[in-house]
Structure 1
Amino acid sequence: MPSFSRRLVPAGLAAVLAATSVLGAAPALSQTSASATAPASVPLIPGADYDASVPSVAQALGYDSGARISRAADVRRYFEALRAAAPDRVAMGDYATTHEGRPVFWAAVGSAANIARLDQIKANSRALADARVTSPERARAIIADQPVIVWLMYSVHGDEISPADAAMAAARHLLASRDPAVQQWLANTVVVFVPTQNPDGRERFLNSNASGFGTEPNPDPLSAERDQLWPGGRFNHDLFDLNRDWFIQTQPETRGQAAAVRDWRPQVLVDAHEMGTDETFFFPPEAQPLNPWIYPATLESRELIGRNTARRFDQNGIPYFNRQVFDAFYPGYGDGWPGYLGAISMTYEQGSARGLAARRSSGEILTYRDTVRNHFVASLSTIEAASANHDRLLNNFYAYGADGVSGRGAYVLSRSAWDPGEADRLAGLLVASGVEVGKAEAGFSACGKSYPAGSYVVNLSQPQRRMAEVLLAKDVAVPAAFLAEQERRRARGLGDEIYDVTAWSLPLMFNTPADRCASAPVVNVTAATTDRVIPRGIADVDAAYGFLVAPGFGASQLMASALRQGVAMRTMDKPFTHAGRRWPAGTLVIPRAGNPADLTAKMTSWAATTGAEVVGAAESWNSDGPSFGSGDAVAVRAPRIALAWGDPTDPTAVGATRYVLEREFGYPVTVVRTNNLADADLSAFQVIVLPQGGSYRGVLGDAGAKHLKEWVDNGGTLIGLGSATRFLTDPASDMLASRRENAAEAGDGSGASDKARVDGQLIASLADYEKQVGDSQHGPASVAGVLARADVDPDHWLSAGVAPSLNVLVGGSDIYTPLKVGEGTNVARFASADDLLMSGQLWAQNRAQLAFKPAIMATSSGRGWIIGFAQDPTTRGYLDGMKVIFANAVFRGPAHASPNW
């Protein structure tokens, strides 16, 4: 790779415009954020010698690399131009279609010989990944003729714009450069580009950028072209952060690319991002903490590649940093999840111009061309390092799978008595992460226990042992030295350095029992598939009275579908015995009388698609408990749901809540801009959900709070999620009598007050808790994200069909005082300090103060209900164990209201 000197960019805008080749023509808003006509192709590496038969970006798109921010469609158009120019050295394919209908694609670049045998190369890579079927001798023979697969992913966040343009420049360099070194790279590697992982978000950013653009780029931090309106371009259409979706795979972009990565099994993978404008460039080694399940050779190879990138950056005068800010602990990132498939996976981060030019706080001007060039250099240096270390990388890849096969033991996933279908959902999700899962064909013994047929077994003697361990372990320990440093920082009043959540155990999040056994059970199993629903038939399908549906996630889906189609039903608030079987609270009763003639066909279809357990009832007689015609059998009606949208909501929180309701439960919502809730006629809605976010008080004001309270009193159900509960507990809103606590001192505690926050209090025992709720009379440290146990009040309708305890993802610093008798119900309260923490790192002060505090609160108000979740149950769409109680709030809440409209 030729070297070139760093260009010091002056602060003057005229120099910026000259450097970026942006002229003063009128903006062509329909095509790009600026109408700039570049001179004949100016290479990002001066002096590079290119084959003219391979088109440059300027020739294909009309502007030079870095002179404009390319539209997603233009990025694809350019790669198609490269394929047309070099069809023997470029292959392309789609792996997903976004919610807005845009294809997401990969483009493989290599030598003609390698592109001609791509299927064999992929098969060889999969063979190297499994030492059970590939002997060391066979592995050596494969490696001798196998290129390293380098998977380069760009712009997963839509407003992280430069990586996609860098991808085009890098692909062209590989195909057009006459440098003999590049030809050697292509002999040793196949490079797979994923140029735009999030085209929907990119287009949202570009539309915002174009709407604020004037006659020339404005680098001011406050300029409209760089100031994104809510929700910004970072997220995909569903407002998900795709970089945190890899093991839960809720979005089509992630599901498609995860499947493609499992198919190709790359040895090197880069996820190219942008960060704050004042930053330079980051590449590994990463910051602490490092996940202990990372394969040691992976860390060594990351440093090896990083040292090569540092050498190239030094040659070109590009500043960088590593071992700071970005850790490698959470396995759900784009650079995390693939690492547990054996890839050397890495994040690259470039300080962003968020447009064509940005003024840093130092006064320097950062241009878009600078950011494109830096990612371009990083991409090429990665390919160069992969080529130079061909044998080492492939041998380590084979060793990774062999290390997995040498594992011992197994995880056994049992079916929960409260929601047995969750085990099926969890098993399918694990298979989507490449983990081998077996469904036991007979009962068996393991871990000193007996398990029934149908339990799932994850044998840890498999290539993906580390993937299984990191996703299924109850807790992944944060290194002790790192924690000691965080405590030292906290003692000095400094913030901690934890970047993301410290807990993600899938069995805990799915509320599914899981045991890790020292040895694998001896039982025949059937391989599980990626299907997350096991279709059920209907028992006693021709029963005369109607149908009973056991509660759970599948039942919530069935209920939502049935409500949409006008099917009448009731939900039982208390358990009962029918035809010799004990049914729990939350059971749905769907009679034939008053329902469509094709009810049996509908129920059969819903049982198959949701996995809900449906049983025919010959009669309505119950031998114990409430009857189907009693007041404990509450009619469920189809509610109209409004979801707050826009400021001050957190876009990802809105996206996750809407995703759970619309895509998982299949029930539509109306998104309403939050400020309109202050004075609009809300009588058409039975439910309003306020997602986690900022100051609702600041947006709605006193009049808006009063308007919402009047709507509740007339029969509405108002649900606050996470930090939105601050609005409900604010004394100025006067909706929930609970108050948010300050940091506690032992012995303090004054209960509710007329202030938005009150002194914190420690509750040392259940007796203390019961005493406090019976009496009518600066915040805690922020938590990155832990799983904490909350015990559920079994007598409240909101807990119908819910497990006796839930695992709540706790983040931030919000802790609330319990509601007192007569003020409402603490439907779920956190466990004692000794039993509270299920997984993750929780500061001792928070652990003591969170004990026995409410996780979910509910109170009746007039004819309606107010429900506050202290933590967001829909976060990232991955808390399956919390979704049933959230569905109860949304669908059963209106059933327990008495609206007068």
Structure 2
Amino acid sequence: MKHLLYLIAILLSWQAAGQDLQSPEEFLGYPLGSQFTRHHEVVEYYRHVAAARPGQVRLETYGKTNERRPLMVAIVGSSTHMTNLETIRQEHLKALEGQGKSDIPVVWLSYNVHGNESVSTEASMQTLYELLTSRQDYLEHAVVILDPCINPDGRDRYVNWYNQYKNTPYQPNPESKEHQEGWWNGRSNHYMFDLNRDWAWLTQVESRQRLAKYQQWMPHIHVDFHEQSMNAPYYFAPAAEPYHEVITGFQRRFQETIGRNHARYFDANGWYYFTKEVFDLFYPSYGDTYPTYNGAIGMTYEQGGGGVAGLGVITATGDTLTLKDRIAHHLTTGLSTVEVAAGNAGALTSEFRNYYANPGNFKYKSYVMRGNPDQLDALTELLNRHNIRYGHARPGTARGFNYRNQAAGSMRLDADALVVPTRQPKGRLVKVLFEPDARLSDSLTYDITAWSLPYAYGLDALASEAEVPHTLETREPQVKPAFTESAYGYLTDWNSMADARFLAALLQEGIRVRRITHPMETAGQAWAPGTLLIQKGDNRNHPGFTATLKKIALAHSKPLTPVSGGFVDAGSDFGSRSVGMIPKARIGVLAGEPTSTLRFGEVWHFFEQQLHYPLTVLDADFWDRAKLENYDVLVLPGGRGYRRFLTPERKGRLKQWVAGGGRLIAMGEALDALGGEQGFGVRAKAGGPQATDTDAITPYAQGRREGIKSAITGAVFQTRVDPTHPLAFGYADSYFSLKLGNRAYERLASGTVAYLEPNARPVAGFAGSEALKDISGSLVFGVEAHGRGQVVYLADNPLFRGFWENGKLFFANALFMLD
């Protein structure tokens, strides 16, 4: 009897709580769409809903942003499902092994990955409310996970800006200030990274924390809510070509099933929409493709609007697009998605099991890699985050496609070789991330077309058609640096970002370090250029030198070799001019116009989150007042506004600073404005042949496809490298570079470090025929001496999206290895 009374009391409390559930308008005190809701208010509403419906809503915080805003999901279901939620989750995860009997689909709705595409967070609150009120029947057949804001830092940046500058109530004229967001816009996260391109690379704290939660659920459907041009109608599935070949027939068909259901509602309301255009399913790091490659129905929904739309804006057709309109559209597709999932529960759950039970019969059964241990460790860290299984090879020989030679070859194997098999639950994802060159069904794509991880991590790799024997044991490196009281100093190698972080930590602690610029032999081994010397005499005035060095070496798992004196067996002795001191460089980085927010963010993130070395951000508006003599190194990130920014006066000031001993690192488009009669020695390379009046006229309908001939959509090229140059210390005589366009520069007469050979072709990805002519034989990286200083030219971007791991040492060399 007591148990019965207890259950009745619980039910009554749930009913009472349910009567207290407020709509977003009731809770916030204003109609949705009449104002933008700040992130803390969104969090408060979700907490209110969870408290009012404890039997149907579970709120889980999965992390924090760089600016300490909470990241959270609401898990929503019927009271029966929520009572058995953990059982449902565990039964569903058995599907990853092709097992389990769960028939309850999991739908994950992700909102506001781009901060100034701000409508979707507003829509998420109404979607949550409707699921718990008018659409409760959907929850009898599905579990829904809502992430109200993937990018709270960016969204609050936009919302706070808009609330500061908008008219009252609002001004729909698109020329008004409230529609003209500035350079530091809200699209990206704190470090100006595009989180919608980071799902696979996991460079950002939001992405890593979100994926850990995602891996706990592995949903059947994942939707990424976006906004596009304010003049565009709504976009929903099915997606455009190219589809990656691993995408199954069911995944393709179900996209259309969902799209047709959306269309039914949009048609009834007289709303415009489009499908099968622009947004493809190829690049693996989006919020639609990454879930797709993990078995889900991954989709992007795009509402017209974005940062220019505000609360209302007059479009090109003369109509006024309001925030209320945008909310209604995202609300409709969100609910429609759950409706379709609930109505097709059996097909979704069974096909998800089939996805993992039948992972595909791929040409390559194993990917085998050897190379720098630090690079291998960095790669396995990424694989661990994705729950991708790997192991170490058994002694023998593997045969297959050699990535470096682009031909059939073999590789000797030992226990240090890494093997990633495709016969595993994440086999399709392995193929997508590791295959030498992904097959394109259409060259018109929305993003880069090459990303193969062996190239990105600078590893010798083989794609084998056989299952290469390996063990799944993982081994943690045991590094115990050797310290002796009688040591003259310590040597350690230089060939990875791990080494750069170690050096940065030493400099931060005031430990003096030298670099060796020529090959030498001592302490029973050979040492390559770039080797670090940490000498006791240089640090005689450092209190606790040995203890500090030991602490840092252990923290960075960095082996040190003690040397007993400065007389070497071969090469230059330690007192030679070829063994120079590495100064603790003072770094300044240009921000604002003319730089790209993304390119600036890559540099900013590199210093603070990868290298852990201080920088000063110099805003473009402050540039003329900055005391350049306070900086040893200045970085100009890529961007399209340098021709306007680098006036003759500013260029002359830069030249004077470099001549006095400064080091200028120019990236991407910044090179365009540095040349010329009054500039430095870099010169744009002449393009391919120009059209003549006898050439055939391209029909208008074919214009875009003809234009792709002059484009390079993120292709990988093998470049030639001068490994004797300090900018290339730690590299061999070739480097695989990710090229993002056909912008090209002439090689330098002296100081060319990496370049494309004439008639170079991509080893992976798409490059148009005319673009190949433009870049033939062009400069990739180079250094020009100017007075007592230097200019470093980085025509390609070694820091692109933070994931091209093998390029980062070039940037570190530009900071620390040049004389």
Q: Cα distance, 1:117 vs. partner?
A: 2.3
User: In structure 2, which of residues 688, 695, 702 is the aligned counterpart of residue 743 of structure 1?
Assistant: 688
Residue number in structure 1 paired with 2:649: 703
CA contact (8 A) 1:692 1:722 kept: yes
CA contact (8 A) 1:791 1:804 kept: yes
Which deviates the most, 858-867 or 206-215?
206-215
Match of 1:626 among 553, 572, 581: 572
Alignment match, 1:524: 471
In structure 2, the CA distance between the partners of 1:848 and 1:540, relative to structure 1 (3 Å rule), is farther
Q: Which residue of 2 aligns with 1:391?
A: 346
1:393 and 1:871, CA in 2 relative to 1: closer, same or farther beyond 3 A?
Answer: same
**Are 1:152 and 2:95 matched, yes or no?**
no
**1:154–1:271 contact (8 Å) kept in structure 2:** yes
* 2:575 aligned partner, one-letter code: G
Change (3 A) 1:391 1:527: farther
Mapped contact 1:410–1:460 kept (Cα < 8 A): yes
Alpha-carbon shift at residue 854 of structure 1 (Å): 0.9
CA distance in 1, matches of 2:665, 2:276: 42
Query: 8 Å contact 1:209–1:224 — kept in the other structure?
Result: no
Q: Distance in 2 between matches of 1:183 and 1:697?
A: 58
1:515 aligns with 2:462: yes
- Equivalent residue, structure 1, for 2:480: 537
Q: Which amino acid aligns with 1:827?
A: V
Pairwise mapping of residues 103-252 of structure 1 onto structure 2 (< 5 A)?
A: 103-131=70-98, 134=99, 139=100, 142-143=101-102, 146-177=103-134, 182-252=135-205
Partner Cα separation in structure 2 for residue 420 and residue 478 of structure 1: 33
Mean CA deviation greater in 312-321 or 469-478: 312-321
Displacement of 1:86: 0.5
2:3 alignment counterpart: none
**Distance (whole Å) between structure 1 residues aligned to residue 353 and residue 485 of structure 2:** 56
Once the two structures are TM-superposed, the CA of residue 408 in structure 1 deviates from its matched residue by: 7.6
How many residue pairs get aligned? The number is: 773
- Match of 1:639, SS state, is coil
AA aligned to 1:313 is F
Which position in structure 2 is the counterpart of 1:773? none
Q: Distance in 2 between matches of 1:535 and 1:345?
A: 41
Show the counterpart of 1:375: 330
Q: In structure 2, what is the equivalent of residue 400 of structure 1? A: 355
For 1:208-607, list aligned pairs within 5 A: 208-352=161-305, 354-404=309-359, 410-416=365-371, 419-440=372-393, 442-447=394-399, 448-479=410-441, 482-483=442-443, 497-527=444-474, 534=477, 536-539=479-482, 544-552=487-495, 553-595=497-539, 596=542, 598-607=544-553
Which residue of the partner structure matches residue 829 of structure 1?
755
Aligned partner letter, 1:664: Q
> Matched residues in 2 for 1:223 and 1:535: separation?
61
Work out which of the residue numbers 762, 780, 783 in structure 2 matches 1:855.
780
Bigger mean CA deviation after superposition, 540-549 or 866-875:
540-549
Counterpart CA distance in 2 for 1:364 and 1:543 is: 81
RMSD: 2.1
Give the residue type in structure 1 aligned to 2:784. T
1:625 maps to a residue whose letter is G
1:800 aligns with 2:800: no
Whole-angstrom distance in 2 between the partners of 1:387 and 1:335: 20
| Alpha-carbon distance, 1:602 to partner | 3.5
Match of residue 406 from structure 2: none
Supply the distance in 1 between the matched residues of 2:545 and 2:249 (Cα, whole angstroms): 58
Aligned-partner Cα distance in 2 for 1:439–1:537? 23
1:672 matches 2:618: yes
Contact kept? 1:291, 1:478, Cα under 8 Å: yes
Is the 1:308–1:381 contact (alpha carbons within 8 Å) kept by the matching residues of 2?
A: yes
Q: CA separation of 1:702/1:534 partners in 2, compared to 1, >3 Å: closer, same or farther?
A: farther
Deviation per CA, 1:745-783, whole angstroms, max 9, x where unpaired? 79xxxxxxxxxxxxxxxxxxxxxxxxxxxxxxx999232
Cα distance in 2, alignment partners of residues 541 and 306 from structure 1: 70
Conserved 8 A contact 2:315-2:321: yes
Q: Secondary structure at the match of 2:626?
A: coil
Give aligned-pair identity as a percent: 32
| Structure 1 residue 839, shift from structure 2 partner | 1.0
Distance in 2, matches of 1:650 and 1:624, equals: 47
Structure 1 residues 866-885: aligned runs within 5 Å: 866-885=791-810
Alpha-carbon distance in structure 1 between the residues aligned to 2:672 and 2:129: 53
| Matching residue of 2:57 | 90
Shift in alpha-carbon separation, 1:518–1:359, aligned structure 2, 3 A: same
Q: Partners of 2:319 and 2:478 in 1: how far apart?
A: 61
Q: Does 1:652 align with 2:595?
A: no
Q: Which amino acid aligns with 1:463?
A: P
Once the two structures are TM-superposed, the CA of residue 295 in structure 1 deviates from its matched residue by 2.5
2:607 is the alignment partner of 1:661: yes
Q: Relative to 1, partners in 2 of residues 1:843 and 1:319: Cα closer, same or farther, differing over 3 Å?
A: same
After superposition, the Cα gap between the structure-2 partners of 1:814 and 1:391, relative to the gap in structure 1 and judged at 3 Å, is same
Which has the larger displacement, 596-605 or 792-801? 596-605
Question: Quick check: 1:674–1:700 contact (8 Å CA) kept in 2?
Answer: no
TM-score (norm 1): 0.83
User: Is there any run of 5+ residues in structure 2 with no aligned partner, and where?
Assistant: 1-16, 400-409, 692-706
* CA distance in 2: counterparts of 1:683 and 1:125, whole angstroms: 61
1:742–1:519 Cα change, 3 Å: closer
Q: In the TM superposition, what is the alpha-carbon distance from 1:846 to its structure 2 partner?
A: 2.3
Alpha carbons 1:692, 1:721 under 8 Å: kept: yes
Q: What secondary structure, in the 3-state scheme, does the structure 1 residue paired with 2:299 have?
A: strand
Question: In the TM superposition, what are the counterparts of 1:680-719 in structure 2 within 5 Å?
Answer: 680-719=626-665
Higher mean C-alpha deviation, range 691-700 or range 77-86: 691-700
Report SS of the residue matched to 1:399.
helix
C-alpha deviation, 1:698, in angstroms: 1.0
SS of 2:438's equivalent in the other structure is coil
Deviation at 1:831, TM superposition (A): 3.0
What SS class does the counterpart of residue 240 from structure 1 fall into? coil
Paired residue secondary structure (2:397): strand
CA deviation digits over 1:472-508, x for unaligned, max 9? 11110212xx34xxxxxxxxxxxxx321111111110
- How much has 1:361 moved relative to structure 2? 0.8
Kept in 2, the 8 Å contact 1:569–1:589? The answer is yes
* Greater mean deviation of Cα atoms: 211-220 or 267-276: 211-220
How far apart, in 1, do the equivalents of 2:774 and 2:70 lie? 49
Displacement of 1:405: 7.4
Change (3 A) 1:411 1:231: farther
8 Å CA contact retained: 2:390, 2:419? yes
**2:764 alignment partner in structure 1:** 839
Q: Render the CA deviation track for 1:331-387: whole Å, top value 9, x for unaligned.
A: 110111111111111000000163100110111000000000100000000000000
Are the counterparts in 1 of residues 710 and 769 from structure 2 also a CA contact under 8 Å?
no
Contact 1:270 1:347 in 2 (8 A): yes
Residues 327 and 219 (structure 1), Cα distance of their counterparts in 2 relative to 1, 3 Å cut: same
Shift of 1:741: 2.7
